[in-house]
Amino acid sequence: MNRTFKIKTAVLCVPGALGFLIFYILPFIRTLGYSAVKSSVDPTFVGLENYKSVLSNEYFRLALKNTVIFSLISVSAVVVLSLIISSALIKLSEKWQFLKSFFIVPYVLPTASIIFIWQSVFGTDTYFALSEISGLGDFFTVLPLYLLFIWKNIGIDIILLTAALSGVPKEVYEAASLDGKPGLRIHLKITLPMISPSLFFVTVLSFVNSLKIFKESYLYFNSNYPPDVAYMVQNFMNNHFYKLNYQTLSCAAVIFTLVIGLVVYALYRLENSLGDYS
């Protein structure tokens, strides 16, 4: 029966594996080929010359720096806030559990309607005057994107983390309390290791969503060329796509994919280290 179950599982995975191969792996291999030739009309092999050109491009370095900073700050903020709110929701009585449903609303709202509200709030003269007075013009320029990302993605993270926290047995906390462990140490030694798989999934999901901020950025600034502080890798790639500069676009995509892979691997290793303590 176990063998039959494995065969059925493998058969069910075939369509998904074929789709991943056709729509992701093969195009990525084609992208690698584009990145190593001189141009679309001149297929002369140039090795890593295109990569050197992209890495020496000041706008690509600016875009990569902004993207890393945005993902690091926004993902950390949304995961920590989601964990705090989820912990508070767990302690609510059953009649207040319906509040969890409201957190998912921003995630499913159309982006265009959200941007209209954001422009109404952050596009006022008062907001611009505040940024000038404070001397933090760059910070106030990109602040709406941070707030928009957190507001839109915190709901799905709360739902997932609340479900994970609900699965932690109360007896574990009672035993830890009897041992005299303080509250913060209980969460560090018990809660985090026990929900580490869900925490890893939420972090990766938030990280992937942070890379999709281009749509909101494009609509908010209404331009392919936002202010320098908000210029992301997606802007760089989109602009070169319009210029039909496939070599630069392909190199940027490969480099960006490697960065994403390293980040996900680091998160995976961190999740394993947390799980070792459970």
Confidence (pTM):
0.82
Write out the two tokens for 41.
């009309």
Q: Is 108 exposed, middle or buried (0-12, 13-18, 19+ CB in 10 A)?
A: exposed
Residue 19 lies in a domain: no
128 band by pLDDT with thresholds 50, 70 and 90: low
- Single-letter amino acid, residue 9: T
For 240-265, letters b (16+ CB in 10 Å) and e give: beeeebbbbbbbbbbbbeeeeeebee
What does the DSSP assignment read for the chain?
-HHHHHHHHHHHHHHHHHHHIIIIIHHHHHHHHHHTBS-SS---B-TTHHHHHHHT-HHHHHHHHHHHHHHHHHHHHHHHHHHHHHHHHHTS-GGGGGGGGGGGHHHHS-HHHHHHHHHHHHTSHHHHHHHHHHT-HHHHHHHHHHHHHHHHHHHHHHHHHHHHHHTS-HHHHHHHHHTT--HHHHIIIIIHHHTHHHHHHHHHHHHHHHTTHHHHHHHHHTSSS--GGG--HHHHHHHHHHTT-HHHHHHHHHHHHHHHHHHHHHHHHHHHHHHTT-
Provide the number of structural domains found in the chain.
Answer: 1
Q: Is 132 part of a structural domain of the chain?
A: yes
Q: Are 195 and 164 in contact (CB under 8 A)?
A: yes
Three-state SS at 45: strand
pLDDT score of 69: 92
pLDDT(255) > 60: yes
Q: In the predicted model, what is the mean pLDDT of residues 106-116?
A: 78
pLDDT at 29 over 60: yes
pLDDT (mean) for 76-95: 82
Give the per-residue pLDDT at 176: 65
| Per-residue pLDDT at 98 | 65
In a domain, 113, yes or no: yes
> What is the per-residue pLDDT for 94?
60
Specify if 12 maps to a domain: no
The enclosing domain of 238 has a CATH number of 1.10.3720.10
Range of the domain at 201: 49-90+102-275
Indicate whether 68 belongs to any domain.
Answer: yes
Compute the average pLDDT of residues 86-106: 72
pLDDT per position as a tens digit, 166-203: 887 777 766 766 666 556 676 677 777 788 888 888 99
Instruction: Return the structure tokens found at 207.
Output: 């990280």
CA proximity to 252, closest of 32, 1, 6, 17: 32
Whether residue 42 lies inside any domain: the answer is no
Q: Which of 8-22, 110-124, 243-257 has the lowest mean pLDDT?
A: 110-124
In a domain? residue 250? yes
In a domain? residue 197:
yes
